[in-house]
Amino acid sequence: MPVIRLFSPAPSPGRAVLGELADAVTTLLALERGHCWVWWQQLEPDAFHRPEWHTDAAVPAPAGLVVCKESYGKTQVRELLRLVQDRLADLLGVAREEVYLTVQRAVDGELLVRDAVWSRDGKAPGTASAGDDERTGMTADAITDLVPIGQVHNERRELVDDDWGDVPSVIRLDGDRFTTDAVLGLDSFSHLEVVFRFHRVPPDKVQEGARHPRNNPAWPSAGIFAQRGKNRPNRIGVSRCRLVKTDGLDVHVVGLDAVDGTPVLDIKPYLRQFGPRGAVVQPDWVDDLMRNYY
């Protein structure tokens, strides 16, 4: 969970601006909303030496300290720094190159959050990290290295279940990480499989047991792994859609059931050979549920 401390001689831009920055960070890292904290500290003139801050020629650009887990890879840290720099420049109206940032990594076993000591292997003293399973050795850090490769852009902003068949979307890949070599040959396929994060599902809505699909009592109760609802433990979605074209790092598709702003984790070409072998069997309620989905 990143913690961002910003220093400037200027007053705080306000809670809404700092909250927008935090939301952008959690979207980038595919974290739950609220799992990034931002502090703004206004400095008195005698409390710093940065010559340009002592002039009235322009709005002062802040300097910042970003604290994050030691396990974050170099690519993640680079993308995090660039995002914070870009968002601060946009939100505050300051020159991007004047926003200075540095990173401090929290060492394994030395980060206490919500009464849990973070540990990659569960051996650090203190309670296990939230989501750790001491029986299996699986820790909450298991998917920390998943960084979105891009973002969905479309006109669907409401979390509505049906009528996805004709929805056009653009998956815009991260230009700081990828060149067009990443999609070379993709346009020779007709369909894609897209892996993404249900980023707008609040953590307290995640379900781990059984429920009626779409909370419809007419359909039998089914375990979360016996249905494709979005309130899943890791909130990961997988969708097949039709590829229209590639345009630079923009991948144009139709029928992707993901709302605007969805972080994309992976894109794969769909291969017939990966389709099911033999007859496909499913309960009758699935046909009812999917009747108007596409």
CA proximity to 36, closest of 27, 44, 49: 27
- How far, in Å, CA of 225 to CA of 210, rounded? 9
Q: Which of 63, 1, 57 is nearest to 32 (CA)?
A: 1
194 is written with which tokens? 């897209």
CB proximity list for 144: less than 8 A, separation 6 or greater: 69, 71, 72
- Could you write out the DSSP letters of every residue in 50-87? -GGGG-SSSPPPPEEEEEEETT--HHHHHHHHHHHHHH
Tens digit of each residue's pLDDT (9 = 90 or more) over 143-200: 456 788 999 999 998 888 888 999 999 999 998 889 999 999 999 999 999 999 998 8
Q: Tokens standing for 278?
A: 């033999």
Condensed to tens digits (0 to 9), the pLDDT of residues 18-73 reads: 999 999 998 888 887 888 999 999 999 899 998 888 887 677 899 999 998 877 77
**Secondary structure (3-state) at 25:** helix
> Which tokens hold the place of 105?
């990594």
Q: What are phi and psi of 175, to 5 degrees?
A: -70, -15
- The token pair at 119 is 């540990």
